[in-house]
Chains A and B, each alone.
Chain A
Amino acid sequence: SYVLTQPPSVSVAPGQTARITCGGNNIGSKSVHWYQQKPGQAPVLVVYDDSDRPSGIPERFSGSNSGNTATLTISRVEAGDEADYYCQVWDSSSDPPYVFGTGTKVTVL
């Protein structure tokens, strides 16, 4: 099965930029999606198809994908951005095809 690797944790000061990576073999050839999950809540889609944002998601959330690494960037970090973040891909050649990353805990200092 396809494996997506994320750093367990990222710490960032308010107002600074957080970058969360998602590593996978040739991930740049796939569409990557990102979810935010706050404690006790369901995940929320924040970026889809590498860099698109659903309606209602602030422009501070952006994504990129190239080579073996996809990145979710959170600009001008706020206290409310503290959460777990998961990347996800659909890989039709993998079983299961629907794969989540290991998750990253973002802590706002």
Chain B
Amino acid sequence: QVQLQESGPGLVKPSQTLSLTCTVSGGSISSGGYYWSWIRQHPGKGLEWIGYIYYSGSTYYNPSLKSRVTISVDTSKNQFSLKLSSVTAADTAVYYCARDWCSSTSCYSDYWGQGTLVTVSS
């Protein structure tokens, strides 16, 4: 059973960089076949896809966040990470990591982490 677990600071100051790590167990990122996503949910709101990474390091970001987002992968630790720079209160949200099954015409998240609340405040 694949499990994902987010970790990182729950409080970030405005203008600083939000950094989160997702640790994957029960499966290897480097085995390929899956993409690894970050998704967030503002309080009381819907889901927003941030971007994903393949084990090779190939990435795709939501254009609304692209200028501030970096997703990276560390296959030796079976982890992938999110960095979001220049954060404001509007980045306060629950951040989820997820495993994506993707084909040429379809992509969905079949396993999710429990989510971690990140609050941006001074």
A33 and B47 contact, Cβ closer than 8 Å, known pairs A42-B96, A42-B113, A96-B62: no
CB nearest to A101 among chain B residues = B46
Partner of A31, one of B48, B64, B96, B105: B105
Q: Give complex CA distance A92, B60 in Å.
A: 12
Q: Give complex CA distance A92, B105 in Å.
A: 7
A100 and B105 contact, Cβ closer than 8 Å, known pairs A43-B112, A95-B63: no
A-B residue pair count with CB separations less than 8 angstroms:
63
Distance (Å) between the CB of B27 and the closest chain A CB? Answer: 15
- By a CB distance below 8 angstroms, the chain A residues around B48 are 100
- By a CB distance below 8 angstroms, the chain A residues around B110 are 45, 48, 54
Tell yes or no: B121 within 8 A of A by CB: no
- By a CB distance below 8 angstroms, the chain B residues around A33 are 106, 108
- Among B37, B101, B112, B113, find the residue whose CB has the most chain A CB atoms closer than 10 A: B112
Q: Give complex CA distance A96, B109 in Å.
A: 15
User: Could you jot down 11 A-B contacts, CB within 8 Å?
Assistant: A30-B105, A42-B112, A43-B47, A43-B96, A48-B106, A88-B108, A90-B105, A96-B63, A96-B64, A97-B107, A100-B48
Residues of A within 8 A of B (CB): 30-31, 33, 35, 41-45, 48-49, 54, 86, 88, 90, 92, 95-103
Closest 3 CB pairs of A and B: A90-B107, A31-B106, A33-B108
